[in-house]
């Protein structure tokens, strides 16, 4: 099995021009916590909830609480420093929701090719220094083909083991 066999092909993406508020709203409704950022089909970055939370609270002293503010359609969980007052949070929210994702995305994206094997995927997704949860699968030109999340890899390993245990 390789990345092409186990990747999710229908990948929701963001554009570098999408604004922070719109992407936060989409993440609130998604079953995952990040989007590859593409431009003309090519992967140019990745944006996660962690990237967006850092806009509102860069400190290590945080408390995770659910909050919902317009323009968000649903509430998200943000990290908020207990020393902040509501005015500071509101100012930060207003200052950042209209920013383009291109300003806050991670540009150094770890990607794999479609032929990457399970061992390579495991090594990357289990690397403590990289600390990533998903690997965009790209062709030679950098065009997005799909994405392998940790859950996809675990399912593939389980399936591979179950098939190996079947007699015959």
pLDDT (tens digit, 9 = 90+) per residue, 134-162? 999 999 999 999 999 999 999 999 988 88
Considering only residues 76 and 52, tell me which one the structure prediction assigns the higher pLDDT.
52
How far is it, in rounded angstroms, from Cα 72 to Cα 43? 26
Tell me what the pLDDT averaged over the chain comes to: 81
- Of 10-19, 21-30, 71-80, the poorest mean pLDDT is in 71-80
Cβ distance 39 to 92 under 8 Å?
Answer: no
């Amino acid at each position: 099995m390789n990345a092409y066999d186990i990747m999710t092909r229908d990948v929701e993406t963001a554009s570098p021009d999408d604004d922070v508020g719109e992407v936060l709203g989409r993440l609130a409704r998604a079953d995952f916590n990040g989007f590859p950022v593409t431009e003309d089909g090519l992967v140019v970055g990745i944006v996660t909830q962690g990237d967006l939370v850092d806009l509102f609270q860069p400190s290590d002293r945080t408390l995770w609480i659910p909050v919902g503010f317009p323009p968000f359609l649903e509430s998200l969980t943000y990290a908020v420093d207990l020393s902040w007052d509501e005015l500071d949070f509101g100012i930060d929210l207003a200052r950042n929701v209209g920013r383009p994702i291109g300003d806050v995305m991670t540009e150094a994206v770890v990607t794999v090719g479609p032929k990457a094997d399970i061992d390579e995927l495991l090594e990357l997704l289990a690397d403590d220094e990289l600390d990533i949860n998903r690997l965009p699968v790209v062709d030679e030109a950098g065009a997005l083909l799909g994405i392998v999340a940790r859950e996809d890899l675990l399912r593939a390993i389980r399936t591979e083991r179950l098939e190996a245990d079947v007699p015959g």
